[in-house]
Amino acid sequence: MSSRHGGGRAVRSGSRGGSSGSAPPEGIKELIRDSVYLLSEPGHGAPNMEVVFIHGLTVEDYHDAYWRTWTVGNNDTECWPIKFLKADFPNARILAVCYDSSLFVAGAAGMSDLYAAGETLVSALVEKPVSVGLNNCPIVFVCHCLGGLLAKQIIVHVDDRKQHRNDPKYKNFLDNIRGFQFYSTPHQGSHLGSRLAGLARSRLSSRKKARSKMAKALNVINDDVGRLNGKFDAVKDSTEYRDKWFWSNVVEKNETHLECGFHGLVVTETSARLGPTPITYVDTDYLGVCKPESTTSRSYISLKNLIQKIVEGISQDAFKSRRGIFGIDDKLQKISEMLAEHSVIGLWGMGGIGKTTLVRCWYDQEREKRNYMKFCFLANVRDCNIEDCQKDLYSCLFGSGWEGKSKDDRLMEIKKYIKSNKVLLVADDVDDAKQLEALQVEELNEVGISGSKMIVTSRERDVLGIISAEGILELQYLNDEHALEIFSYKAFRGVGENMQLAKFKDQAKVIVKACGGLPLSLEVIGSYLRGTYLRGSFDIRIWEEVVVKLQRAVSLSGSAEDKLWATLMISYKKLDDEHKSMFLDFASVICEMGLVTRRTLEAIWDTPSGVRNLIDRSLIKWNDDNDSLTMHDQLRDLGRHVVRGNPDEPKNRSRIWERGVKGLEIMMLNEGHQHLKGVSLHEVTNGDLKRIKKSLQSEGLLIGPSHLNFEKLRLLNLHAIGAEVLDYCVNLCSEERLMCLHLSGSQISHNVCKNIFKKLGSFRNLRVLQIRGFSSRDKLTLPNEIGELTQLRMLLLAFTDLDKLPESVCKLSLLEELDLSSTPITSLPDEIGELNGLRKLLLQGSDLCELPDSVCKLSLLEELDLWRTWIKSLPDEIGELNGLRKLLLQGSHLCALPDSVCKLSLLEELDLRRTWIKSLPDEIGELNGLRKLLLGRTQLCELPESVCKLSLLEELDLTGCINLQRLPKKIGDLQQLRRLHLSSCLSLEIPDDTQDELSRLRLFDVRPLKLLMVLYRFVSKMRRAS
């Protein structure tokens, strides 16, 4: 092939050495070595489009193909994406990828095929630092030759892989793709393929070279490419993307003459055609098809028209709507104006009106601007006690130091800090004025000079009495325009927005009106209707049915809240029986159990898809930060309304959640006790039980275990209850049906505890056992019978006074999570390694002194948390934990890491802060999956040079390493590093060569590093002067 094109012999740039060719055009930045390059980006602000160029095949050396493929005509030095495209679309971010595209290879080189290259590039494009898709703007692929097939492979990889489909970054990437520009892409192969095969067998055989795997994709008959096309077409034609993607196809008109003896069209019309997309022919050969001479060349105009079509068809407002926030700009402006006049303002409105969404958006906006010294967002204040809120605020301001001081001293510190520093504080969902007093709101009202500000949200106007009337903003329902926008986004996203909205416009307006402008209602109903289409039922009759049901949504109690229940009931009624039961479980009992993880729900319900379904329908929300699941209050109330049924007949319930003695009364009087599925009791004393028993017996009612039949009870949550109440409830449970038992906040006698726990062994289908903050007057002990719980998935024993695990625990072969955090336990059974299903072992804050060697047999273990334990060493074979992703040892007594740690290839986070280690293993660089390496406040004197091999490392914490004298020489090789913490490294020297290396890093905040460099220069100068 000719060297005039990236598809010919690519010549390495002068910067790579050993090259006879010219260097790349000025301004190109290498984001990932030999993989992704930045050709252009906007001068200011976020891009409005991302264009990704993918080159085609090369003869041998492919390293410069990422820019040489796209040179201007016969000019081998100018790159037209920079010269032409940047001028026409100055706000576009233009990228080019590089991959092993050699036609002929020697030895082990060139073994990459489409599948392997696609797998590598999709990660390179989506993950940091490239982050294509993160800007929520259209993505366009521009491809030459097999680059088009590689683009298809990238799409298929994202859609095919479960971990990608569930990862917001990859989902966002796929959702933002809008266009494909193909230059002579052989979708059905090329006759050049057979010619190359013969050439590899003959003329090149003497040179010990062979045709690469990538080149084999040119074969006209190729099963792998056939499967790729089939999978890509399935994605392309899906309802999700059918109306989103735009196409342009350019093909050579002239025959190509190659040195290998090939003469003819490399890509014929038949092979280039992609469905009904028109083809643009250009008067050139295969090598010049992607080399426009000027901006008037047909090959360039084709791409320009494609991009303009995408830009005109998709406004930036449509992409902002992905956040589900409409009409928010005016409200954000109003908040800014009010805070300019007041130090404290309040947002008031009913649940579901959008208070949290609005204030979170404003808060995030201010964090990006860095207008304040400290930021603190206190979420769900109504569910926290006052002291916890004060602790959270203190932690935001000072980090630590709450313990060991009087309450008055702590509050005085908070007051002084707020008065002298600029702080932004948000208290979300406050329901008691005392909470505001505890958070020093009055002090904030007096500030002014420091610039500290506070926003409070609440459902109750009276709670905001401490704030002046002018500083309170009542959030109203969305107007019809914004309500229609949010509903349309939820209902039509990915199913041909404009076309479908026109078709269902009248029904949509009626639904929006019936939802009353409440964002939550619009989101839930819209998600339901979109789901009907994705399941193949996008029928006008379904919409008409929804309209009729909404119009019949009469108020049950005369309040707006009742009307909301009737509105949301439509989505509930469309669930199948299994998912209805899950929804009611969560609304009635599970939401009373505190923080609930996704793994807990999957263990209870034994159906990951069920959890996913409720999330997709916006009926429960997943917080990715701590893997917890929550339910909006209105949805919770909806579920409880369903369970209650007729309020005049409360004696036939499937689930009970009322707090205090009322809950116990309903349980004991429940005439449908044989249908009871879940019970949550809070703060019920032994005296309450005796009084109810006496009252019922006086009426001749039978209330003992032999008369009450809880044969279907699956969920039992008991918090702060008496020992006799606990014993009574446990004895009512069916040994076959109970699946989740949650005990918390109780103190009972040793004998009662022993008897109750002994009975636990009989619950053969128990899957989740959580005992938290639970203690006996003596030490809590678990019976040997616990080993008989063969179905147990979660054993959560945090914050108890348990000091020993029975050996029978090691028989729980299905156990996935064992939590012994903050217990006085000092050792684990020697046979702990027999828990071959264990994925999380949490021991933070416990008195554990050592790990048994058998821990190293836990091949599925993903997280090992030994934070603030008494551990001094790890087992020598710790490297056998092949699945480990998190190893947390902060604050432990660890003195050294065994060398085998370096075998943990999947490890993503290693936390050694405040340990006693003085050195790291020399082969620490073998941890090629590591993203966080936290070493603050350790005794380290130096880092091994191999640290610089940690190519995925994003955060390196060396804070307070007072003995650290130098950094590795090639620290600049850590191109993914974004956070480097070096404060209080008193012995650290940063000579000029190290400063040069540090300047190569793309850190999020370089100000502390620059200050450190200036300080080092000053100290060095003073030393020389003395």
Please compute the mean of the pLDDT values over residues 249-253 and round it to a whole number: 92
Judge whether 582 and 612 are in contact, CB under 8 Å. no
Tell whether 336 and 398 lie within a shared domain: yes
| β-bridge mates for residue 768, sequence order | 740, 794
What stretch of H or E contains 455?
Answer: strand 453-458
Bridge pairing between strands 628-630 and 621-623: antiparallel
Which tokens is 327 given?
């009409």
Q: Which residues contact 333 (CB under 8 A, 6 or more apart)?
A: none
Q: Are residues 192 and 230 in the same domain?
A: yes
pLDDT for residue 1007 is more than 70: no
Q: Which of 398-407, 551-560, 561-570 has the lowest mean pLDDT?
A: 551-560
User: Each residue of 55-112: pLDDT tens digit?
Assistant: 998 876 788 999 999 999 888 888 999 999 998 888 889 999 999 887 765 444 445 6
Burial class (CB in 10 A: 0-12, 13-18, 19+), 806: middle
Q: What's the pLDDT score for residue 104? A: 65
What pLDDT is stored for residue 274 in this prediction? Answer: 80
What percent of the chain is modeled with pLDDT above 70? 79
Contact 448, 420 (CB under 8 A): no
Same domain? For 465 and 525 the reply is no
Q: Is residue 441 situated within a structural domain?
A: yes
* Residues 239 and 259 placed together within one structural domain of the fold: yes
pLDDT of residue 321: 39
Q: Is residue 707 in some structural domain?
A: no
Is residue 1010 included in any domain, yes or no?
Answer: yes
Query: pLDDT tens-digit profile of 28-56?
Result: 988 887 799 999 988 665 677 899 999 99
pLDDT value of position 828: 97
Region 781-796 average pLDDT: 90
Inter-residue contact 883 to 860 (CB < 8 Å)? yes
707 pLDDT more than 70: no
Count CB neighbours of 1005 within 10 A. 11
Residues 385 and 327 in one domain: yes
User: 2-11, 307-316, 663-672, 851-860: which has the minimum mean pLDDT?
Assistant: 2-11
Compare 198 and 476 and report the one with higher pLDDT.
476
Least confident interval from 148-157, 456-465, 489-498, 873-882: 489-498
Q: Residue 398, exposed/middle/buried by CB under 10 A (0-12, 13-18, 19+)?
A: middle
Weakest-pLDDT range from 90-99, 172-181, 413-422, 679-688: 413-422
Per-residue pLDDT, averaged over 701-727, amounts to 80
Q: What is the CATH number of the domain that holds 497?
A: 1.10.8
Name the percent of the chain lying above pLDDT 90: 31
Please give the average per-residue pLDDT across 874-889, as a whole number.
97
- Token pair belonging to 17: 């050495």
Structure confidence at residue 4 (pLDDT): 31
Q: What is the mean pLDDT of residues 336-347?
A: 89
Per-residue pLDDT band for 553 (boundaries 50, 70, 90) equals very low
Q: What per-residue confidence (pLDDT) applies to 379?
A: 79
What would the pLDDT profile of 970-984 be if each residue is shown by its tens digit?
998 999 998 898 888
Inter-residue contact 429 to 358 (CB < 8 Å):
no
Give me the number of domains the chain comprises.
5
Quote the CA–CA distance of 873 and 919 in Å, as a whole number.
Answer: 14
Say if residue 284's pLDDT is above 60. Answer: yes
Out of 12-26, 296-310, 453-467, 708-722, least confident range: 12-26
Q: Are residues 417 and 512 in the same domain?
A: no
Segment 590-597 mean pLDDT: 89
Residue 591 and residue 461 share a domain: no
Dist. CA 717–CA 667, nearest whole Å: 13
User: Which DSSP category does 85 fall into?
Assistant: I
In this structure, what CATH number is given to the domain that contains residue 374? 3.40.50.300
Residue 875 within any structural domain of the chain: no
The single-letter DSSP state of residue 524 is H
Provide the pLDDT confidence category of residue 1010 given band limits of 50, 70 and 90.
low
Mean pLDDT of the chain: 81
The answer to pTM > 0.75 is: no
Cβ neighbours of residue 440 under 8 Å, at least 6 residues apart? Answer: 411, 414, 415, 418
Q: How many whole angstroms separate alpha carbon 1023 and alpha carbon 1015?
A: 12
**Mean pLDDT confidence for 579-586:** 94
284-293 CB burial, b ≥16 within 10 A, e <16: bbbbbbbbbe
Q: In this structure, are 639 and 599 located in the same domain?
A: yes
pLDDT band for 780, please (50, 70, 90 cuts): confident
CATH number at residue 605: 1.10.10
Selection from 92, 221, 225 nearest residue 152 by Cα: 225
pLDDT at 15 (0 to 100): 31
Domain stop point among 257, 288, 312: 312
Residue that terminates a domain, selected from 574, 600, 633: 574
Average pLDDT value for residue range 308-314: 72
pLDDT per residue over 890-903, tens digit each? 999 999 999 999 99
Q: What is the CATH number of the domain that holds 277?
A: 3.40.50.1820
Do 385 and 248 belong to one domain? Answer: no
**Is residue 894 one of the residues assigned to a domain?**
no
**pLDDT value of position 265:** 86
pLDDT for res 122: 92
In a domain, 491, yes or no: yes
Q: Fill in the DSSP letter of residue 730.
A: H
The mean per-residue pLDDT over the stretch 590-598 comes to 89
More confident of the two residues 828 and 236: 828
Helix axes 147-160, 223-236, angle to 10 degrees: 60
Dump pLDDT digits (tens) for 887-934: 999 999 999 999 999 999 999 999 999 999 999 999 999 999 999 999
Structural contact between residues 126 and 95, judged by C-beta atoms closer than 8 angstroms = no
Q: Are residues 56 and 203 in the same domain?
A: yes
411 domain residue, yes or no: yes
Q: Are residues 231 and 284 in the same domain?
A: yes
- Is beta strand 104-106 parallel, antiparallel or unpaired with respect to 92-97? unpaired
List the single range of 496-510, 724-738, 753-767, 837-851 with lowest mean pLDDT.
Answer: 496-510
State which residues form the domain around 425: 320-474
Residue 872 confidence class, pLDDT cut points 50, 70, 90: very high
Please state the rounded mean pLDDT for residues 596-610.
Answer: 87
Q: What pLDDT is stored for residue 554 in this prediction? A: 42
CA distances to 310, 326, 881 from 313, in Å? 5, 19, 51
Distance, CA of 927 to CA of 951 (rounded, Å): 9
The residue ranking higher by pLDDT, 902 or 757, is 902
pLDDT in tens, 394-450: 877 876 666 667 778 888 888 888 888 888 899 888 878 888 777 766 666 665 556
* Domain end among 511, 546, 574: 574
- What is the pLDDT, as a whole number, of residue 1? 41
Residue 859 lies inside a defined structural domain of this protein: no
631: nearest Cα among 520, 496, 754, 503:
520
Same domain, 353 and 382: yes
